[in-house]
Amino acid sequence: MSINLIKQVTDLFGNEFVSKSATALGESEVGISKGLGAVIPSVFAALTQKSSTSGLASLFNLIPGENGFDLSAFLSSFFGGGDNTSLINKSAPLLTSLFGDKLGGLTSAISGFSGLKGASVTTLLASVVPSILAFIKKFKNDNNYTDAQVQGLLLDQKQYLNNAIPTGFNLSNVLGLAATGAAASSAAPRPTSTSSYSSQSDNKGGSSLWIWLLLLVLAGLLIWYFSKGCKDKDVVDTTVVASDTLNKTVADVQENVSEAATTVMGKLDSFGNWIADWGNETTIKLPDGTELKVGENSTEYKLYKFITDDNFKIDEVDKTKNWVSFDRVYFETGKAVLTQESQKQVKNIALILKNFPNASINIGGYTDNTGSADVNKRVSDERAKAVAKELQNLGAAANQIAEAVGYGPEHPVCPANDTKECQAQNRRVDLKLVAK
């Protein structure tokens, strides 16, 4: 059975880590979440490539055993506002070995995507990379894995990598490649892993305790690593990541994307609709003074951030980028009639568009893979146009809906499409910002 290490690592860096890191680095929690959402798949993409070369062993040789760490030292130095210069300097050889000459570009790309300062991104990389390696090494020891089994396990992460890359973060461009995963061939959005952080539960009780303790254990290993100084610098493999090998890795991701499991958080309701996890509640303040209380994973929040974030650039070449699913819009079975509970979100989107008259969107309608393809295509088109019409009825200008088209069962966000949960996620309407 395949093991999704990316998901396990993502769960470690939950809400408490995000909150403490934001305080320590003077950043917003949203920015830290987005930064982590880009850092973690970037690390695994590089580790997957390393698994195809002889460079993996040297990385793990830098991570010490499980004893002798000082938790209080970590908490005071990182979360207590201490000097992170030593942390960054001592991690530099490890980061260089992992990312090669792409490190500078990666740091800039994550900064632009997340809104974090470059120094904050560097600190995240300097702490997260050794922690991930420590986690994998501990996993290896606990399960008595051989080096070959660890290599196979990391190569196996390719099937999860595409869904882990957050929407709006083009890892392929960062690595100097032409395409990343299924995005090159699909017009639909993929689930974003950024929501994995903000959509965690409140982590109350015993579950949060063991996750946080495990994170502290990894942090302790990180401190031990720092205490070693630079004496092990000579054993670091500084091989530059080869573009042709990474290109093969990305191609493998594309081949395996149909088998990848969805990472969208949510559940089915009694009517068979997919109820996505909104994440932590936040307030959007519109230019006209209107305040909308929404979730950090919600359609409203994502659209608002796309419009207002100066760092967000609309990709006019790759039409597959930056699609967002309406997470509270539903229809009567087999019809293009919006349910009553859909009105609130459609009204919110209309309000956002009204407040930003230069913004315009495309709307796409989708169905699951059951029934007639022709009927599904027609129904999905009618549903896309029904949402467009309702947005206009609620105040959005006609020219703010550039197009509304149905694609039927094409471009599923849950590729397996063989469970009720998967099919419910694929029955959706999406939007894409095309002007702002």
**pLDDT for the residue numbered 187:** 33
Q: Tokens representing 82?
A: 């201490």
Q: Tokens representing 436?
A: 């702002």
Q: Distance between CA atoms of 326 and 346, rounded to whole angstroms?
A: 9
Locate all alpha helices (DSSP H) within 143-268, ordered by sequence: 147-155, 158-164, 171-174, 195-198, 206-227, 243-256
How many C-beta atoms lie closer than 10 Å to residue 389's C-beta?
15
Amino acid at 295: G
Q: Which domains does the chain carry?
A: 5-259 (no CATH), 266-435 (3.30.1330.60)
- Edge-to-edge, what's the strand order for the sheet holding 323-325? 323-325, 428-435, 360-366, 401-406
**pLDDT for the residue numbered 391:** 97
Mean pLDDT by 10 residues, the chain (436 residues): 83 78 84 90 84 62 45 42 51 75 86 88 82 79 83 85 83 54 33 32 38 47 44 35 33 34 63 84 94 94 94 84 91 86 95 96 93 89 96 95 94 82 91 95
What's the burial of 416, exposed, middle or buried (CB within 10 Å: 0-12/13-18/19+)? middle
Radius of gyration for the alpha carbons in the chain, expressed in angstroms and rounded: 22
Q: Distance between CA atoms of 225 and 246, rounded to whole angstroms?
A: 28
**pLDDT for the residue numbered 91:** 66
**pLDDT for the residue numbered 9:** 84
